[in-house]
A and B are shown apart, each in its own frame.
Chain A
Amino acid sequence: EVQLVQSGGGLVQPGGSLRLSCSASGFTFINYAIHWVRQAPGKGLEYVSTISSNGDATYYADSVKGRFGISRDNSKNTLYLQMSSLRAEDTAVYYCVRERLAAAAGIFDYWGQGTLVTVSS
């Protein structure tokens, strides 16, 4: 069974930092690109970041570029999102999402359970 188990959310002050983790099981982690998607309270879904299967390529939405860093440790089957210079508008539930193996990139086929990040003083 494919599982993405997230940890690391919480309350942080504006300007602070936080690291999210996403532990994968039930599939060969090294073969898959993984993404982060977030959802502000009561709002829709927003794409955040992508990392390729081997970690060589990373992509960021403009809203987080220069402040967030995505990485992975394939030996531990774990994905990370390092968030810094956090703002109130970064408050959201963050989901790690697996990309389906397919001819077309970007199909999100399994979602983690989500972790809430609250940026507030």
Chain B
Amino acid sequence: IGMTQSPATLSVSPGERATLSCRASQSINNNLAWHQQKPGQAPRLLIYGASTRATDIPARFSGSGSGTEFTLTISSLQSEDFAVYYCHQYNNWPYTFGQGTKLEIK
């Protein structure tokens, strides 16, 4: 299953809202996760089941969608949120990832 993220790069000011999109090439129900990766670090799970926050993830992170269209929203960007975000489908094997959206400071 192909996963397409948009935009490739998103420039947003601290305190503003960021909306990242992920599209699957076929329905994946709600079997979608979002991971955050900062430079030089391993990815970290943010969201699974399309909308369930992982342990210790702040409430400003929210996920939505089902089928083929998904969204990750960060309601009020903090400095530590600027990173690369990957969507990941686990509905079908082999598991696949989007190419990533880089969230940068405007």
Contact = CB atoms under 8 A, between A and B. Distances in A.
Interface of A: 35, 44-47, 59, 61-62, 95, 100, 102, 104-114
A47 B49 CA distance: 19
A101 to B, nearest CB: 12
B43 interface: yes
A44 B99 contact: yes
Contact of A107 (B33, B94, B96): B33
Contacts of B100: 44-45
B31 A45 contact: no
Interface of B: 31, 33, 35, 42-45, 48-49, 54-55, 86, 88, 90-91, 93-100
A109 B98 contact: no
Contact of B42 (A35, A46, A95): A95
Nearest to A109: B45
A109 B31 CA distance: 14
Contacts of A111: 42-45
Contacts of B45: 100, 107-111
Nearest to A95: B42
A95 B44 CA distance: 12
A100 B48 contact: yes
